Amino acid sequence: MNTEAFPRGSPKPNGPRVCVIGGGGTGAALAYDLSLRGLRVVLLEKGELTSGTTGRHHGQLHSGARYALGDRAIARECYEETLILRRIVPEAIEYNGGFFIAIGEEEAELAPRFVAACLEAGIPAREIPAARALELEPGMNPALSRAVWVPDGTFDAWRLPLAFFAAARALGAEIRAWTEVLGLDRSGGRVVAARVLDRSREPFREELVEADYFVSATGAWAGKVGALAGLDVPITPAPGAMLAARGRLVDRVVSRLRPAGDGDIMVPQRGLSIIGSTQSVTDSPDAILPAPGDRDFLAGAGAELVPAFGAAPVHAVWAAARPLAGRSSDEGRSISRDFAALDHEERDGVAGMATIIGGKATVLRAMAEKAADLVAAKLGVEAPCRTARYALPSWREYYGRKA
């Protein structure tokens, strides 16, 4: 598909009014998608934009290779989305590629099956000689015996969603940070209004926001927000910790060639190298901190991938909560990384509201498309998704600055 110029100067949307709750990447992409379809959008975010999981993740533009052994469809979708994002928002992406490296016999034996799984998912992975991989990325563990190149990349956790926010706002969406939804009012079996607390300026004030349809794009908070409307949303907030060391020790994403687990990905971000992550579960995604022991575990895991990591000064250790779609008793490990748009009318007999859950930052546009398709169908709007078509405005535009 060709990339067209952003449709500036389009008539302001005048369709039904949709309230998007949650100002992370998913909410940003959804506000943009709905605005492009001619819907009037108001987005409510309780903190600063991207202050949830979106502003605190690893920043890996997943080629899908990490998921290829477990789920080809998720892997394929990741890769297809990276191709779209590279066209529409190149400014936020460093397309540097990645290596999966085998340390030890078991990992080495996995290489052919891993490459085959990637190729089946449409991901152009290829094994390259270990010595050549080390020439290209000399920081990697010299004990590696096999290396597979994959089309991974990195992206800026803030600039990517901000470009979507800028696009939504340019089309007339109202983006309201520091506005928390405290309640969702139902009338005649339908969600009709959000009771909000606006903390964007003093004095703080409570207010009613009415809309024709509500979508919760609240990630790990989706259970709490659903409960405000009396809904039981199946979500597992699964915190993970990351450690950033000073120094760009590699230029590509470097992952362990083994089934996805803890401490097996190193991502270069500007002048830092970030190892992640761990996984546990929690009821409350607010104020998540790394667990005792995370720092030492991650430092050790990082040094196994890139030996210099062990001696590099620590820049930060932090954690965020994955919004895993579903429930499980095994710390969320058996929950798929897929996403779903829940139609609460069909599922729970409550009209006027949907929830988009699961997924990952790389697939924010696809998540928004799925949710917006549902909203459009509910509201009788025929306009199709067009978000893969246009180059997004610069993230700077969100703050009123020229690109």
- H/E element holding 208? strand 205-210
Name which of 89 and 130 has its Cβ closer to ligand FAD. 89
344 binds ligand FAD (CB under 6 A): no
Selected binder of ligand FAD within 13, 23, 98, 226 (CB under 6 A): 23
Selected binder of ligand FAD within 43, 167, 361, 376 (CB under 6 A): 361
Name which of 112 and 300 has its Cβ closer to ligand FAD. 300
Name which of 17 and 146 has its Cβ closer to ligand FAD. 17
151 binds ligand FAD (CB under 6 A): no
52 binds ligand FAD (CB under 6 A): yes
352 binds ligand FAD (CB under 6 A): no
Q: Which stretch binds ligand FAD (CB under 6 A): 59-67, 90-98, 107-115, 168-176?
A: 59-67
Name which of 273 and 362 has its Cβ closer to ligand FAD. 362
- For residue 207, the number of C-alpha atoms closer than 13 Å in the C-beta half-sphere is 14
226 binds ligand FAD (CB under 6 A): no
332 binds ligand FAD (CB under 6 A): no
13 binds ligand FAD (CB under 6 A): no
Q: Is 295 left (phi over 0), alpha (psi -120 to 50) or beta?
A: alpha
323 binds ligand FAD (CB under 6 A): yes
Residue 243: C-alpha distances to residues 18, 94, 276 (Å): 38, 20, 7
| CB-neighbour burial class of residue 272 (10 A; exposed 0-12, middle 13-18, buried 19+) | middle
**Rounded Cα–Cα distance for residues 101 and 225 (Å):** 41
Selected binder of ligand FAD within 64, 139, 151, 219 (CB under 6 A): 219
**Shortest CB 269 distance to ligand FAD, Å:** 10
Residue where the block lists tokens 């590279």: 86
Q: Which amino acid is at 311?
A: A
Which residue has the CB atom at the shortest distance from ligand FAD?
24
Count other Cβ atoms within 10 Å, centred on residue 7: 13
Report helix, strand or coil for 315: strand
Let me know: does 65 contact 150? Beta carbons within 8 Å. Answer: yes
**Rounded Cα–Cα distance for residues 3 and 277 (Å):** 35
Q: What x-and-dash track marks residues 261-300 binding ligand FAD by CB under 6 A?
A: ---------------xx-----------------------
**Shortest CB 189 distance to ligand FAD, Å:** 22
Name which of 54 and 394 has its Cβ closer to ligand FAD. 54
Name which of 317 and 351 has its Cβ closer to ligand FAD. 317
Q: Is 146 left (phi over 0), alpha (psi -120 to 50) or beta?
A: beta
**Rounded Cα–Cα distance for residues 295 and 274 (Å):** 12
**Shortest CB 130 distance to ligand FAD, Å:** 26
**Shortest CB 235 distance to ligand FAD, Å:** 10
Structure tokens at 157: 């956790």
Let me know: does 251 contact 268? Beta carbons within 8 Å. Answer: yes
Structure tokens at 259: 């089934």
CA angle 96, 98, 100 (to 5 degrees): 175
**Shortest CB 270 distance to ligand FAD, Å:** 15
Q: Contacts with ligand FAD: how many residues (CB under 6 A)? A: 40
Structure tokens at 377: 């169908």
| CB-neighbour burial class of residue 252 (10 A; exposed 0-12, middle 13-18, buried 19+) | buried
Selected binder of ligand FAD within 74, 93, 181, 249 (CB under 6 A): 181
User: Which residues here bind ligand FAD, judged by CB under 6 A?
Assistant: 21-27, 44-47, 51-54, 57-60, 62, 180-181, 217-221, 225, 240, 242, 276-277, 320-323, 359-362
